[in-house]
Chains A and B, each alone.
Chain A
Amino acid sequence: ETGVTQSPTHLIKTRGQQVTLRCSSQSGHNTVSWYQQALGQGPQFIFQYYREEENGRGNFPPRFSGLQFPNYSSELNVNALELDDSALYLCASSLATGENYEQYFGPGTRLTVT
């Protein structure tokens, strides 16, 4: 088990609603990345936060936004939910940004949009 925790474990929302997912990074890690894993697919990179600033972003619309707090925990916010947003959302923390630093993944939040 890594020291990365995510909440909630499962969530059911209705199309058009907004959702906030939370991630607590491993102790000492200042970088958090978020990924979306649709059923039967590999995870896709949403964005990364490094020391409270967005450090990079994948091909996701602006209704996907995030925050990183001074304690390096993080939130993923999704507005105007669509059915296709149903997925497992994974966060990963690392000691720093850059490819020499291993990303440690949390267990994920399963979001279902109806």
Chain B
Amino acid sequence: AQSVTQLDSHVSVSEGTPVLLRCNYSSSYSPSLFWYVQHPNKGLQLLLKYTSAATLVKGINGFEAEFKKSETSFHLTKPSAHMSDAAEYFCVVSDQGGFQKLVFGTGTRLLVSP
């Protein structure tokens, strides 16, 4: 079964500084990987997805992630944090069972201070 591990439960940054949210995956084959964001009282929103094309994936709101097979990692980055980026972020792997079953990590809460 596929799984993801988010290495930090909380990350604190100052506005304007870089963001790094770490994720390692476990998969027996080339996985499909995603990052979702969840703002309070809002649904989950897809930030970006990797599906075996380019290893550097660009998403919405300036976020990007790099797929590194040798390190089994899929870290999420943003060059400059904005106050509106404060939210819960989930690294997700698709478990291929003939249908799309999303397997979520435990989440990383991003705190952005002025």
Contacts and interface: CB of A to CB of B under 8 A. Distances in A.
B1 to A, nearest CB: 10
B106 interface: yes
Contacts of B104: 35, 42-44
A45 B102 contact: yes
B44 A43 contact: yes
B106 A102 contact: no
A107 B99 contact: no
Contacts of A98: 99-100
B46 A102 contact: yes
Grouping DSSP codes into helix (H, G, I), strand (E, B) and loop, the A interface class, with mixed when no group exceeds half, is loop
Given A42-B90, A42-B107, A105 B101 contact: no
B43 A106 contact: yes
A56 B98 contact: yes
Give the interface size class of chain A. Answer: 20 to 34
Contacts, number: 64
Contact of A107 (B43, B51, B100): B43
A101 B102 CA distance: 12
Interface residues of B, number: 24
B45 interface: yes
A94 interface: yes
A90 B96 CA distance: 20
A41 B103 contact: no
Nearest to B104: A42
A105 B96 contact: no
Given A41-B107, A42-B107, A100-B51, A105 B45 contact: yes
Contacts of A99: 32, 51, 94, 96, 100
